[in-house]
């Protein structure tokens, strides 16, 4: 907006100087027209076509001056409107700065930015999703178990929900050790079997979910499978 005001002021000054030139040309064309007209009327010097051409040039010069005067009359209005818009924009900016200072959003846990849905400078409406945070303190790992692994790892507390006939209800949270397969000697964590996720009828495997600190593979239990 500030650049618009400067541009209008600069063009206003240029057109004012141009008006002086056009006014001078109008005076010269008027003098030439009257000279040729008088010579032709009084002394029959020259031609009628020459007088008409001089008259046309004089009329065109007057039109140019009139058009430029109208344009110059609009510049103060345009500059005033631009100044008003600039003042309004500064007022909105001041309010936005105050609102920004008052709106600090913090997560209630140590988080990692997983995905961002906005761009810098984008207007954000209330309720719009802006980003996704991930809590890496506890990660979940899905492990597929065959029948032998299921027998080894799935322990049940004996309770049964009358409305649920699935055989894997009442799953115990079995503790297990987690290791990083690329460096199993130095990176080990404690995990816990949390819940059953799904049963694949085709492969006859059960996918279970474990809570751990890193997304790694489950270590073999003594006498069992991974």
Digitized pLDDT (tens) for each residue of the chain, 226 residues in all: 678 888 889 999 999 999 999 999 999 999 999 999 999 888 888 888 999 999 999 999 999 999 999 999 999 999 999 999 989 999 999 998 888 888 777 888 888 888 999 998 888 888 889 999 888 777 777 777 777 777 777 777 665 555 555 556 667 778 877 777 777 676 677 788 777 777 777 777 777 766 654 333 333 333 333 3
Number of C-beta neighbours around residue 54 at 10 A: 21
Pairing of strands 188-200, 131-134: unpaired
Cβ neighbours for 33, distance < 8 A, ≥ 6 positions apart: 51, 54, 55, 57, 58
Q: What is the pTM of this model?
A: 0.41
Phi and psi at residue 23, in whole multiples of 5°? -65, -40
**CB-based contact 193:218 (threshold 8 Å):** no
Q: Which residues are paired to 174 by β-bridges?
A: none
Q: State the pLDDT at residue 96.
A: 86
Taking alpha carbons only, the member of 166, 176, 173, 158 closest to residue 206 is 166
Number of C-beta neighbours around residue 112 at 10 A: 9
Half-sphere exposure of 218 (CA within 13 A, CB side): 25
Taking alpha carbons only, the member of 116, 128, 16 closest to residue 69 is 16
**CB-based contact 68:15 (threshold 8 Å):** yes
Which runs of E-coded beta strand occur in the chain?
Answer: 112-116, 131-134, 139-145, 175-179, 188-200, 205-212, 217-218
Q: State the pLDDT at residue 213.
A: 42
Q: Which residues are paired to 205 by β-bridges?
A: 200
Phi and psi at residue 80, in whole multiples of 5°? -65, -45
């Amino acid at each position: 907006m500030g650049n618009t005001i400067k541009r209008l002021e600069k063009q206003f000054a240029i057109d004012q100087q141009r008006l002086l030139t056009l006014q001078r040309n109008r005076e010269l064309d008027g003098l030439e027209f009257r000279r040729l007209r008088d010579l032709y009327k009084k002394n029959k010097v020259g031609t009628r076509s020459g007088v008409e051409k001089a008259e046309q040039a004089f009329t065109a010069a007057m039109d140019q001056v009139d058009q430029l005067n109208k344009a110059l009359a609009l510049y103060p209005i345009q500059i005033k409107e631009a100044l008003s818009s600039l003042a309004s924009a500064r007022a909105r900016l001041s309010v936005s700065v105050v609102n920004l200072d008052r709106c600090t959003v913090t997560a209630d846990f140590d988080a990692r930015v997983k995905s961002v849905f906005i761009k810098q400078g984008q207007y954000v409406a209330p309720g719009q999703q802006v980003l996704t945070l991930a809590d890496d303190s506890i990660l979940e790992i899905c492990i597929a178990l065959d029948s032998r692994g299921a027998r080894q790892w799935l322990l049940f507390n004996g309770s049964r929900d009358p409305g649920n006939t699935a055989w894997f209800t009442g799953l115990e949270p079995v503790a297990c050790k987690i290791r990083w397969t690329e460096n199993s000697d130095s990176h080990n964590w404690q995990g816990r079997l949390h819940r059953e996720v799904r049963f694949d009828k085709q492969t006859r495997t059960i996918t279970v979910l474990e809570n751990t600190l890193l997304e790694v593979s489950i270590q073999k239990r003594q006498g069992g499978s991974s």
